[in-house]
């Protein structure tokens, strides 16, 4: 299932160690700008100019823009003090986040100090900011583990405990603490459910897909906190804290009806298991969206159910989990066919069918494409333009393009015999006709090595073809990969480029174009090493008989000029038995060109 962008808390701490900066304010100038190492995967968003204390935040923004981080920190601290006095939860959290950001930028070991600052504030904070800070701290520890994981895993565990300093913690301790924080962040169910997301508008950024039919999918603070916790519990780092008796999701009820799932008992001896915490959190999320709780089951319930079923599919140990998942989605689609995000159910079902690697793979792909086409057709008939499609329909359109995309691959022998037809293996999907052309050109590495693949393609594709032909392809229309063979007419000695496309113009904008090179030569070559000396054997490619008087030219790569070029590194000629000594210095790489008469073959390194 594609992940829907949700409300994202503005988490703006720099999440990896930065070099200490001068604590003295200095305006950012072109020649002496304060440079901050970008060390987080999360972009730092622009400050919101609306909401509470907007004029104060505009000042912070202006100070940051000119590099006056210390002054910006002082202003943020003043905003934080005011917010606490006003009992303004969201502004208290926002000021704390920006304090952490500037401390990380300004001080040695700033990241550790920022974490300690947030820890101290979280311990004394009142609800609901306490839950928000716990969630943010969990994210911070998780990101710290992501960026520092290798270093953390090299640490030797401390027998007497790891203490309160993150600099001494093992990876398992960091992950364990992140889990504890996320668990705590959703412990106040009733309180968090009573707080509308609107109360935290100043520290959230809306997404275009947060609403369905103008109704928010995350309408309360609990909705947001629970989904953030779920995302962490579902990650792949839970192995760090798994005991031998790790929780296993082996119950079919994980795919069951809403009521059955919510009432199910998932027992475990490992109460810190991320997977167990995830399934328990999903039960709470789904339960809150059940019809008895919030009126008729709506879009938020569909969203929660899709998340639940996808988690069950990803983590279940049952052998029949694919069929359970498919049946559950089919029932979900029938039940909520009139919901605005029903297209998301169709997308999940079609994605699953298309991915199944079974004997009915072709039938599954046809069924998936049919469902997706029906969704798109309904939009077209409603005169809705593609750019205005709802989120789920956009997902369906993207998957349909992927399923229907034409694909061509080719495979041809690197060297072929003259005056004999040449077989080419063609792989294809969703292609009924191919255009084939041949271009002849000398294969000179000094000529082609200076050009990238795109440039080389343009030059060769613009050449007048030596020959061209079309083939009808027997495509069964099952959206699957297939292979066939075509035979090229015999060719004289030389080097050739084979182009194959689904359009006569060989235009990559209008479909796939593949090209590959091959040689036509009577020379066969074998190299081997004997007593530190490279030796070569030359033979007739057709009969295998020794091939005398074949000249070998050796070329060494030279990068001293700033670009790759080949310099001559010697030559040799094969004797009557086809043998030739390379006379190549040891431990160097060379390219070898073999030639006799008008027959030339480059044989690689």
Q: What is the pLDDT of residue 477?
A: 92
Interatomic CA distance for residues 1 and 234, integer angstroms: 14
Buried b (16+ CB within 10 A) or exposed e, 107-129: beebbbebbbbbbebbeebeebb
CA distance 429 to 406: 5
User: Is 526 in a helix, a strand, or coil?
Assistant: strand
Rounded CA-CA distance 11/232 in Å is: 15
Alpha carbon distance 598, 290 (integer Å): 80
Tens-place pLDDT, residues 407-417: 999 999 999 99
- What's the whole-number mean pLDDT along residues 177-201? 93
Q: What is the pLDDT of residue 42?
A: 30
- Cα 218 vs. chain centroid, distance in angstroms? 25
| 269-278 mean pLDDT | 90
* Mean pLDDT for the stretch of residues 250-265: 95
**CA separation for the pair 98, 101 (Å, rounded):** 5
* Coil/strand/helix, residue 590: strand
Does position 292 have pLDDT exceeding 60, yes or no? no
Q: Mean of the pLDDT values across residues 479-501?
A: 94
Indicate the range of 154-168, 233-247, 293-307, 489-503 predicted with least confidence.
154-168
Query: Distance between CA 203 and CA 206 in Å, rounded?
Result: 10
Where residue 238 falls among pLDDT bands split at 50, 70, 90? Answer: low
CA angle, corner 43, sides to 42 and 45, nearest 5? Answer: 130
Q: What is the mean pLDDT of residues 81-105?
A: 90
Mean pLDDT of 275-304: 84
Whether the upstream peptide bond of residue 375 has omega within 30° of 0, thus cis, is no
Is the model's pLDDT at 541 over the cut of 80?
Answer: yes
Please give the full DSSP string across 451-518, using - where no structure is assigned: S-HHHHHHHHHTSPPSEEEEEE----SSS--EEEEEEEPP--SEEEEEEEESSTT--GGGS-EEEEEE
Of residues 436 and 361, more confidently modeled: 436
Residue 283: burial class (beta carbons within 10 Å; 0-12, 13-18, 19+)? middle
Rounded to 10 deg, the angle between the 129-153 and 89-106 helix axes is 30
Q: Confirm if 106 and 84 have CB atoms less than 8 A apart.
A: no
Reported as a pLDDT band with limits 50, 70 and 90, residue 568 is: confident
Contact 345, 302 (CB under 8 A): yes
Query: Has residue 7 got a pLDDT over 50?
Result: no
pLDDT band at 563 (very low <50, low <70, confident <90, very high): low
Within 13 Å and on the Cβ side, how many CA atoms surround 21? 23
Beta strands in 18-129 (DSSP E): none
Do the Cβ atoms of 306 and 346 come closer than 8 Å?
no
What mean pLDDT is predicted for residues 165-184?
85
pLDDT at 596: 92
Cα 339–chain centre separation: 30
pLDDT digits 0-9 by tens, 326-371: 999 999 999 888 878 889 999 999 999 999 887 788 899 999 999 9
Task: Kindly tell me if the per-residue pLDDT of 381 is higher than 90.
Answer: no
Alpha carbon distances (Å) from 469 to 380, 436, 499: 38, 5, 11
Name, in order, each residue with C-beta under 8 angstroms of 319's C-beta and a sequence gap of 6 or more. none
- pLDDT tops 90 at residue 233: yes
Residue 214 has a pLDDT of 76
Q: How far is CA 181 from CA 122, 126, 178, 298, in A?
A: 10, 15, 5, 30
Residue 157: per-residue pLDDT: 62
Q: In this predicted structure, what is the pLDDT of residue 163?
A: 61
What pTM value is reported for the model? 0.81
Return the pLDDT at 512: 96
Question: What's the rounded Cα separation, in Å, for the pair 553 and 590?
Answer: 10
pLDDT of the residue at 175: 86
Q: What would the mean pLDDT of 545-557 be, rounded to a whole number? A: 88
Cα–Cα dist 433/536, whole Å = 44
What integer pLDDT is reported at residue 332 of this predicted model? 93
Please report which confidence band the pLDDT of residue 150 belongs to, taking 50, 70 and 90 as the band edges: low
Long-range contacts of residues 268-271, Cβ cutoff 8 Å, at least 24 apart: 269/243, 269/245, 270/242, 270/243, 270/245, 270/246
Residue 296 confidence class, pLDDT cut points 50, 70, 90: low
Confidence of residue 184 (pLDDT cuts 50, 70, 90): very high
Are 182 and 208 spatial neighbours (Cβ–Cβ below 8 Å)?
no
- What gap in Å lies between CA 94 and CA 204, rounded to an integer? 10
Residue 208 has pLDDT above 80, yes or no: no
Quote the CA–CA distance of 365 and 404 in Å, as a whole number: 10
Q: What is the pLDDT of residue 564?
A: 63
pLDDT for residue 2: 39
Using pLDDT thresholds of 50, 70 and 90, give the confidence band for residue 276. Answer: very high
Give pLDDT tens digits for 576-599. Answer: 998 888 777 666 778 888 899 999
């Amino acid at each position: 299932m594609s992940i829907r962008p949700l409300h994202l808390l503005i988490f703006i701490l720099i999440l990896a160690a930065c070099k200490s900066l001068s604590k003295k304010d200095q305006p950012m100038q072109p020649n002496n700008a304060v440079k901050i190492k970008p060390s987080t995967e999360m972009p730092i968003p622009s400050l919101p100019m609306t909401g509470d204390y907007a004029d104060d935040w505009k000042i912070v923004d202006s100070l940051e823009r000119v590099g006056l981080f210390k002054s910006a920190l002082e202003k943020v601290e003043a905003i934080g003090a005011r917010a606490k006095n006003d009992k303004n939860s969201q502004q208290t959290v926002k000021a704390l986040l920006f304090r952490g950001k500037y401390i990380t930028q300004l001080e040695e070991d700033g990241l550790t100090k920022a974490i300690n600052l947030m820890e101290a504030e979280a311990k004394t904070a009142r609800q609901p900011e306490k839950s928000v800070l716990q969630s943010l701290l969990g994210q911070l520890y998780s990101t710290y583990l992501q960026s520092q994981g290798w270093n953390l895993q090299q640490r030797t565990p401390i027998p007497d405990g790891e203490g309160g300093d993150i600099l001494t913690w093992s990876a398992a301790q960091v992950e364990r603490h992140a889990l504890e924080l996320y668990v705590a962040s959703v412990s106040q169910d009733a309180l968090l459910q009573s707080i509308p997301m609107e109360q935290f508008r100043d520290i959230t950024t809306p997404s275009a897909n947060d609403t369905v039919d103008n109704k928010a999918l995350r309408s309360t603070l609990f909705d947001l906190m629970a989904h953030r916790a779920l995302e962490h519990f579902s990650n792949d780092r839970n192995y760090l804290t798994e005991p031998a008796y790790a929780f296993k999701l082996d119950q079919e009820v994980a795919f069951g009806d809403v009521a059955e799932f919510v009432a199910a008992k998932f027992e475990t001896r490992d109460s810190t298991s991320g997977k167990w915490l995830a399934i328990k959190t999903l039960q709470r999320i789904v339960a809150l969206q059940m019809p008895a709780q919030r009126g008729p089951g709506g879009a938020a319930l569909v969203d929660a159910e899709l998340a639940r079923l996808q988690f069950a599919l990803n983590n279940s140990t049952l052998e029949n989990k694919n069929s359970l998942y498919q049946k559950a989605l089919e029932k979900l689609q029938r039940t909520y066919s009139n919901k605005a995000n029903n297209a998301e159910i169709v997308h999940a079902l079609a994605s699953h069918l298309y991915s199944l690697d079974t004997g009915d793979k072709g039938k599954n792909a046809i069924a998936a494409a049919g469902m997706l086409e029906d969704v798109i057709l309904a939009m077209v008939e409603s005169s809705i333009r593609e750019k205005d499609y709802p989120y789920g329909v956009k997902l369906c359109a993207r998957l349909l393009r992927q399923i229907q995309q034409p694909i061509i691959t080719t495979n041809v022998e690197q060297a072929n015999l003259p005056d004999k037809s040449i077989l080419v293996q063609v792989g294809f999907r969703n292609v009924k006709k191919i255009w084939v052309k041949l271009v002849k050109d000398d294969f000179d590495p000094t000529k082609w090595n200076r050009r990238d693949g795109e440039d080389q393609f343009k030059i060769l594709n613009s050449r007048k073809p030596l020959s061209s032909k079309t083939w009808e392809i027997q495509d069964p229309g099952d959206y699957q990969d297939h292979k066939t063979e075509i035979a090229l007419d015999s060719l004289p000695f030389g080097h050739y480029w084979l182009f194959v496309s689904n359009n006569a113009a060989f235009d990559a904008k209008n479909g796939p174009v593949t090209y590959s090179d091959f040689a036509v030569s009577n020379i066969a070559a074998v190299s081997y090493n004997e007593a530190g000396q490279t030796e070569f054997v030359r033979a007739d490619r057709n009969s295998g008989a020794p091939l005398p008087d074949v000249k070998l030219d050796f070329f060494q790569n030279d990068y001293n000029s700033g670009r790759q070029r080949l310099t001559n590194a010697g030559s040799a000629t094969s004797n009557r038995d086809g043998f030739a000594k390379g006379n190549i210095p040891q431990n160097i790489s060379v390219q070898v060109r073999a030639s006799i008469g008008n027959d030339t073959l480059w044989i690689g390194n």
